[in-house]
Amino acid sequence: MMTAGFMIAGGIGSVLRFWLGNIIGSKFKNACIPASILIINILGSLMLGIFVSLDIQQQMLSTVIGTGFFGGFTTFSTFSVEAVQLLVEKRLKAGAAYIILTMACCVGGFWAGSLV
């Protein structure tokens, strides 16, 4: 049962990320850093902070949503690929900005969400 829950929650999170990523990407076509994944990861971190702060007592539900949905919605692997691509292209300032913004804003987003 739990495996199916992870699959469904992760699938929903992934589809939502894809859909939102396309919308955000169309608004920031000329951004010097990959804005869609940055915004999605910050939003996901903020929402995960809020979710964790709810202190849901049902362990299975908490794990499925926290790991499944938010794991599917946010993406460290895509962030890593995009950061390395910027560095390989010798866009060092953009790469450094992307890495620093992602780390600081995602941790800050989670922290802010946990305070809500």
- List binding-site positions for Na(+): 71, 74
The string of DSSP letters for 31-79 reads: -SS-HHHHHHHHHHHHHHHHHHHT--S-HHHHHIIIIIIHHHHS-HHHH
Q: Cα–Cα–Cα angle for 106, 111, 100, nearest 5°?
A: 30
Binding residues, as ranges, are 71, 74
Long-range contacts of the stretch 16-19 (C-beta < 8 A, 24+)? 16/72, 16/73, 17/44, 17/72, 17/73, 17/74, 17/75
